[in-house]
Structure 1
Amino acid sequence: MPSEPSDDAAAASSRGAGLARRAAHTLWRLVVTTVSSCLRYRVTGLAAEGAFFAVVSVPPLVFALAGGIGYVSARFSADQVEDVRRAILDFSSTFLTDSAVDKVINPTMESVLDGGRLDVVSLGFVLSLWSGSRALNVFVDTITIMHGLGGHRGIVKTRALSFVLYILAVLTGAISIPLVIAGPGLVRAWLPERADFLMQFYWPIVIVVCVCFLATLYHVSVPVKTNWSFNLPGATFSLVAWILGSYVLRWVLTATAADSKSIYGPLAAPIAVLLWLYLVAIAVLIGAAVNAAFDQVFPQKHTTRARLELMTRLRTVMTRETTPVPPERPDPPEPPEPPAPTQPVRVTPRPAPTRSAASERAVGDPAPRTD
């Protein structure tokens, strides 16, 4: 009897050790699969491509929005319009030289904000949609390939999905970025005193909005049906990596720009923006690799079936291309046509010629002599 508690404790300890070993093995498989996916699919290079197109899409979007403000500038005060113009000029000075800002950007902004420019709005939105959707197209393609479903979705559908995701990203950024930049203090000043209790939900709301957008990006990028909640691990990892990377980048830029002397000179601001967008892109792609690793370790029914169908199609195509085609055999000669049946020839006997008396006399009797 006294040995029963010790046996139960030993069994519980053995079960706990087994669970710990299985958990450690599963975690190790997830880490190895994630790292191998990042190395195989050039995550660092694709993140640089996405960051570049994201930077290219920002100036046209800003000018398009400024061109739209000109049509409704009568509803704003002169000070508000001047604040918008000053903010755009300050933003442009981070990418362009002072001469370009004074001679090109400033006159253009004065013309746009005075009455609106339809050409600026149209061209700005077109350029922004093209470059921004190109950046999202990098993410969509990479996420699809990481799940082993490259080529499952057509080019036209992928491009259309990139356009929709870019518009959704702009709307999400318009909500979340001001909340992050303004901070809780400014938001508290906007809220009435009765709504101060809402401040405790400030950062949870920002985090939930960002995680939901990332999970939606991962969810719609996979060309087959998946569970939306299955993308939450990658979205959470991506957000954490983005926040930590932003703090590290801020520390590096602060250290290298001490005493207002940056090692990058006048390019410090655009390089800082590009590096920050690069961190965002690489965090998103690593989060996609995490979701792909979860899909391999804990496979889903729809993605597994789609991968098998895709492999079957590829194997069929490769077999068809590698199998030698036998030479065509010449058609056998057609047998000669049988001769037409011949009709029997009837020979009609000809009657014997009759001799006249003169001819008989010439043949049988000598000719009479004439003296």
Structure 2
Amino acid sequence: MSGVAHRLARLAAATARFTASIAREMRREWSEDRVGGLAAEIAFFAVLGLFPAVLVVAAGLGLVDSLVGAANAADAEAWIVARLQDVFGADNTIEATIRDLFTGSNAGALSSGVVLTLYAASRGFVAVVSALEVAYDHEGRRDWLSTRLVGLGLTALTALMVAIVVTMLVVGPFFGLGDHLAERLGVGGAFARTWNLLQLPVAFGAVVVWAATVYHVAPRHRSPWRAELPGAVLAAVWFVAVSLGFGVYLGFASQGANAVFGLLGGALTLLFWLYLMAMGLVVGAELNAIVARRRGIEFVARRTAVDRVTHRLARRHAGGDGDGDDRGVTAG
């Protein structure tokens, strides 16, 4: 028994030393990469693109309602509004504005202008792409076109993922088919209880997958998916802690910022919340970069479309000399 206790003590000490060294590196990276400034930039552009993003999510829910029915899609919208109320309080202008956007949106009208709506909504993710390049210490950056295309893609992916995950949380796994199958097998009650227990882990897992996807796609590098997991888990924990803490803070702040500043207070509250969330996303990327360096994982920069065209023109000008390797270069 004493041997087991000794090994556990050594493991705890080693874990504490490792955590302390990671924290020291994180503090240095925080200062060198201006994490607070990067988060502020993301939050500002996220506010500008928030309401178009809500319209895109509403369009995604409009597509999903063909699978689950209009009533369930409306329940999913109500679930989103309720979660906003949990974070920002019952008396806030943000929740009312989002509800009005959901109510007034039209999926058919949105589909005709989906590119313009996506472009307006993608400004936050364009800032994310630039910020993560800094967090990963990349010397080469994406060109303008590549940055915008990645921002558009991440915006569309996020909106679709929100629509699908929220709908599953509201109507059950497999868009309600799991409930029907369980009822036919006579285990409907047990299935419902199990799903109620699994809802929060599923939601947390979805956030981890989303963050890992952002880390994998946004920066101009190739890396194994496992290299994105430490930061994705940290970011997900950060998001949950910030949202819960924000709701508690506004509750203790009595009437909240809205009672003092009205509509401006709601905007400031939203901006501060987005700032904290963006900080978590950047901190997760910093952790990935630190862990990758310790493990000897090299981030290999992707060649963008502009890079490939420039490379080919240079080879033609040189008479076709060169190794022809278009796969990428090691990022610093």
* In structure 2, distance between residues paired with 1:22 and 1:274: 39
Aligned residue among 189, 196, 200 for 1:193: 189
CA offset digits 1:263-314 (Å, max 9, x no partner): 33343333333332222211111111111111222220x32x76xxxxxxxx
- Whether contact under 8 Å (2:57, 2:163) holds in the other structure is no
Partner of 2:239: 242
Q: 1:131 to 1:286 in 2, by over 3 A?
A: farther
* In structure 2, distance between residues paired with 1:145 and 1:199: 40
- Whether contact under 8 Å (1:179, 1:206) holds in the other structure is no
* In structure 2, distance between residues paired with 1:262 and 1:178: 33
Bigger CA radius of gyration: 1
Aligned-residue offset at 1:145: 2.3
- Whether contact under 8 Å (2:258, 2:264) holds in the other structure is no
* In structure 2, distance between residues paired with 1:288 and 1:294: 10
Partner of 1:36: 28
Q: Tell me whether 1:143 sits opposite 2:129 in the alignment.
A: no
Aligned-residue offset at 1:22: 5.5
* In structure 1, distance between residues paired with 2:117 and 2:277: 19
Q: What letter matches 1:50 in structure 2?
A: I
TM normalised by structure 1 equals: 0.57
Partner of 2:316: none
Aligned-residue offset at 1:222: 3.7
Partner of 2:248: 251
Aligned-residue offset at 1:26: 3.3
**Between the two proteins, what is the percent identity of the paired residues?**
26
Q: What letter matches 1:277 in structure 2?
A: L
Aligned residue among 223, 229, 234 for 1:232: 229
* In structure 1, distance between residues paired with 2:171 and 2:284: 26
Q: What letter matches 1:238 in structure 2?
A: A
Aligned-residue offset at 1:162: 1.6
Q: 1:262 to 1:299 in 2, by over 3 A?
A: farther
Equivalent position SS for 2:122: helix
Aligned-residue offset at 1:183: 11
Unaligned runs of 5+ in 2: 86-91, 180-187, 302-332
* In structure 2, distance between residues paired with 1:156 and 1:292: 25
Q: 1:251 to 1:262 in 2, by over 3 A?
A: farther
Aligned residue among 292, 297, 311 for 1:295: 292
Partner of 1:340: none
* In structure 2, distance between residues paired with 1:219 and 1:237: 15
- Whether contact under 8 Å (1:63, 1:121) holds in the other structure is no
CA offset digits 1:223-281 (Å, max 9, x no partner): 33212112111111111111111122112211223499733334333333333222221
* In structure 2, distance between residues paired with 1:95 and 1:160: 29
Aligned-residue offset at 1:217: 1.2
* In structure 2, distance between residues paired with 1:35 and 1:183: 43
RMSD: 4.7
Q: What letter matches 2:124 in structure 1?
A: A
Q: Tell me whether 1:174 sits opposite 2:170 in the alignment.
A: no
**Residues 311-330 of structure 1 aligned to structure 2 (within 5 Å):** none
Partner of 2:18: 26
Partner of 1:283: 280
CA offset digits 1:59-94 (Å, max 9, x no partner): 23445677897xx9xxx999x99xx9xx99xx9x92
* In structure 2, distance between residues paired with 1:96 and 1:16: 49
Aligned residue among 118, 121, 124 for 1:129: 118
**Residues 334-353 of structure 1 aligned to structure 2 (within 5 Å):** none
Q: 1:266 to 1:230 in 2, by over 3 A?
A: same
Partner of 2:311: none
Pairs aligned (count): 270
* In structure 1, distance between residues paired with 2:158 and 2:245: 24
Aligned-residue offset at 1:199: 2.6
* In structure 1, distance between residues paired with 2:202 and 2:138: 33
Partner of 1:46: 38
* In structure 2, distance between residues paired with 1:268 and 1:250: 15
* In structure 1, distance between residues paired with 2:42 and 2:160: 19
* In structure 2, distance between residues paired with 1:126 and 1:66: 15
